Amino acid sequence: MHPHYALKNEKSKMPNEESINQAEVIWNYLKLNHTLEKSDLIIVFGNPDIRTIKYASKLWLDGFAKWLMITGNEGTLTKGKWQKPEAQIFKDIAVSQGVPEEKILLEEEATNTGENVTFSYQILEKLGLLDSVKTIILVQMPFMERRTYATFAKQWPGGMNQLDRVCVTSPAIDLMSYPNDDVGDLDKIMEMMVGCLQRVKHYPKLGFQIEQDIPDNVWNIGENLLSSGQY
């Protein structure tokens, strides 16, 4: 775990206007804004924000995929939050939204994004579905889009060349509207965003993600927020 990604325990204070403007730049960079097309599979990555599974459920109900896969046990951001694995919590919500239980695939062991990817592959392989899955929609929190796609592209065991299309998406919520009781206040979200940006930079060297270009202005803003000591 990157030291700047763990949530702080101390009481947060509202970021100033300059910091918010800077955070908007990082937020926009971390989102990929892919255009969605009908696909074979939707994969929802476990996280603390139940809006993601509600959004993914709506995508399924709107006919965007045949299967809805939910992956996750417990991660850094959900540790101690629920008494059941993320996948079980999200499954219950998906069913309550109208997704038939027989159309939901569960992966309940993953504790990080890389495991989300590789363990989901293993479930599909075990169920004999790999050959029928050529197009995938990934669903995560908005500021996790870029990191999720980069991790998938690097760690999908079958390789991206075995797939026809992979895109990533998230609920259409802007930065200032994003804070809630599940994800924390704006200060916490900015802290997580700075952590994601650090991962985009450093994780490719560790073999966790594909390389991605970071514009100088985006990286400099991230470094400024980091050096402020608040994030």
Is position 53 within any domain? yes
Residue 73 has pLDDT above 70, yes or no: yes
Report residue 107's pLDDT band, with 50, 70 and 90 as the boundaries.
Answer: very high
Residue 163 lies in domain: 33-180
Q: pLDDT, tens digit, for every residue of 178-187?
A: 999 999 999 9
Tell me the average pLDDT across 54-62. 99
Report residue 85's pLDDT band, with 50, 70 and 90 as the boundaries.
Answer: confident
Tell me the average pLDDT across 180-198. 94
pLDDT attached to residue 78: 73
Amino acid at 24: E
Residue 24 has pLDDT above 50, yes or no: yes
Model confidence, pTM: 0.90
Tell me the average pLDDT across 9-21. 69
Residue 36 has pLDDT above 90, yes or no: yes
Is position 79 within any domain? yes
Is position 151 within any domain? yes
Is position 156 within any domain? yes
Q: pLDDT, tens digit, for every residue of 165-182?
A: 999 999 999 999 999 999
Domain tally, the chain = 1
Tell me the average pLDDT across 85-101. 96
Is position 52 within any domain? yes
Is position 155 within any domain? yes
Q: How far apart are CA 48 and CA 6, in angstroms?
A: 14
Single out the residue of 104, 29, 21, 39 nearest to residue 68, CA to CA.
Answer: 104
Q: How far apart are CA 21 and CA 34, in angstroms?
A: 23
Average model confidence (pLDDT) across the chain: 91
Provide CB contacts within 8 A for 225, sequence distance 6+: 19, 22, 23, 26, 190, 194, 231
Task: Give the relative orientation of helices 145-155 and 186-202 as an angle to the nearest 10 degrees.
Answer: 30
3-class SS of residue 165: strand
Is position 57 within any domain? yes
Report residue 11's pLDDT band, with 50, 70 and 90 as the boundaries.
Answer: very low
Q: With contact defined as beta carbons under 8 Å apart, do 190 and 204 qualify? A: no
Single out the residue of 188, 170, 199 nearest to residue 231, CA to CA.
Answer: 188
**CA angle in degrees (0–180, nearest 5) for 104-41-103:** 20
Residue 201 has pLDDT above 50, yes or no: yes
Residue 222 has pLDDT above 50, yes or no: yes
Of 24-28, 73-77, 133-137, 182-186, the range with the lowest mean pLDDT is 73-77
Is position 204 within any domain? no
- CATH code for the domain in which residue 85 is found: 3.40.50.620
Length of the chain, in residues: 231
List C-alpha distances in Å: 196 to 36, 100, 165, 213.
Answer: 23, 34, 24, 14
